[in-house]
């Protein structure tokens, strides 16, 4: 890029690592372990030398398209490692790509080093309380040492599955059914820790073990369903009781507020207003409790002083009665 162009400064500021090494942008995120290695082999005898020589000779002919001889170049795919045995002994391991193999004296074995997923068939296990449970699990593992995985055991996949099933029976057998149902992750972690030690000796790394499904007998399922229903009913009763207690508290607060003199006076006025709105209704004003008490006291005072009633003029009493009836008619209208 020419000096002074804006693209150069932008690239250096925003993506300096890509600017320094453009190939980093095209590199895959997953980095595979380098398994390429050469192992020492004993020197060839005369027979081995002749076999190796003719293998190279016929392999050279096999490179021609029209020759029926076997092509000595083999392809190892990505995610695989090639183990080459020379006269039955491991001589070297090769990385993915094209590798030369002597068609007479050497043999190529491809080993998958990607993460394998194996779903274990349903396994019947007995818990510590003598209840049967059917467990379906999944194991994730990958080969980290192809030499051990191929030459130390005949069938690595079958060995991992069998080992997982046996360990699962042992772990589940030491727990009660309630723990098996509620602590799946803990049980799976225990199985994984036990298997990992043995798998490491086989050149295998166990990534994870998951308990996929649990199948309980019908009688046990009914018991769990009844227990869950009883738990839900108990929780509902507790919630209702708390609601009733809260409601009682609120009603008590409302009662305290409404029993105050000011609240009673407001309710009294609201009742009068509601009654006055109805047409053809006669409203009779009753005195309040305080008014009744005053009337009683006044009557007692009148009885003690009867002369005061006789002294009141008759026309004044009639005037007060007329004013009272006029006030009632005005309220009704």
DSSP letters, 176-228, are: -HHHHHH-HHHHHHHHHHHHHHHHHHTTEEEEEEEEEEEE--HHHHHHHHHHH
Structure confidence by residue, pLDDT tens digits, 93-104: 999 999 999 999
Question: What mean pLDDT is predicted for residues 296-315?
Answer: 54
Least confident range of 19-28, 62-71, 161-170, 295-304 = 19-28
Enclosing domain of residue 14: 1-31
Query: Is there a domain that residue 222 lies in?
Result: no
Q: Looking at the structure, do residues 72 and 5 belong to the same domain, yes or no?
A: no
pLDDT at 209 exceeding the cut of 60: yes
Total domain count for the chain? 4
Residues 133 and 189 reside in one and the same domain: yes
Task: Tell me the sheet residues that pair with 73.
Answer: 100
d(CA 258, CA 267): 9
CB atoms within 10 A of CB 203: 19
Please report whether residue 259 resides in a domain: no
Please say if the pLDDT value at position 86 is more than 80.
yes
Average of per-residue pLDDT across 239-256: 80
Contact yes or no for 199/184 (Cβ under 8 A): no
Q: Can you say whether the dihedral through the CA atoms of 172, 178, 181, 185 is positive or negative? A: negative
Residue 23 has pLDDT above 50, yes or no: no
Residue 257 covered by a domain: no
What percent of the chain clears pLDDT 90, i.e. is strictly above it?
A: 30
Q: Report yes or no on 228 lying in a domain.
A: no
> How does the average pLDDT of the chain come out, rounded?
76
**pLDDT value of position 283:** 61
| 269 within domain boundaries | no
**Angle of CA points 131, 137, 138, to nearest 5°:** 170
Neighbours of 57 (CB within 10 A): 13
Q: Is the pLDDT of residue 325 over 90?
A: no
């Amino acid at each position: 890029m020419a000096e002074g162009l804006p693209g150069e400064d932008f690239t250096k500021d925003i993506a300096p690592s890509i600017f320094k090494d453009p190939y980093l942008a095209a590199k895959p995120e997953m980095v595979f372990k380098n398994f390429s290695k050469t192992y020492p082999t004993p020197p060839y005898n005369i027979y081995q030398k002749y076999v190796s020589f003719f293998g190279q000779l016929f392999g050279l002919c096999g490179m021609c398209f029209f020759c029926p001889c076997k092509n000595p170049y083999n392809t190892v795919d990505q995610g695989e490692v090639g183990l080459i045995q020379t006269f039955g002994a491991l001589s070297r391991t090769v990385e993915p790509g094209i590798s030369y193999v002597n068609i007479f004296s050497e043999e190529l074995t491809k080993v998958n080093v990607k993460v394998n997923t194996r779903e274990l068939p349903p396994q019947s296990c007995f818990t510590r309380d003598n209840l049967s449970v059917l467990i379906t699990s999944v194991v994730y593992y990958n080969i980290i040492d192809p030499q051990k995985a191929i030459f130390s055991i005949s069938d690595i996949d079958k060995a991992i599955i069998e080992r997982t099933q046996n360990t699962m029976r042992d772990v589940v057998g030491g727990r009660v059914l309630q723990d098996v149902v509620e602590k799946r992750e803990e049980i799976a972690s225990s199985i994984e820790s036990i298997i990992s030690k043995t798998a490491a000796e086989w050149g295998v790394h166990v990534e994870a073990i998951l308990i996929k499904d649990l199948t309980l007998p019908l009688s046990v399922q009914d018991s769990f369903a009844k227990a869950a229903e009883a738990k839900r009913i108990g929780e509902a009763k507790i919630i209702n009781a708390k609601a009733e207690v809260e409601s009682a508290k609120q009603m008590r607060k409302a009662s305290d507020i409404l029993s105050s003199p000011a609240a009673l006076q407001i309710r009294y006025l609201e009742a009068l207003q509601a009654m006055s709105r109805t047409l053809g209704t006669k409203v009779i004003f009753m005195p309040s409790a305080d008014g009744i008490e005053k009337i009683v006291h006044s009557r007692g005072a009148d009885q003690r002083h009867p002369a005061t009633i006789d002294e009141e003029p008759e026309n004044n009493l009639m005037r007060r009665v007329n004013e009272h009836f006029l006030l009632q008619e005005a309220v009704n209208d």
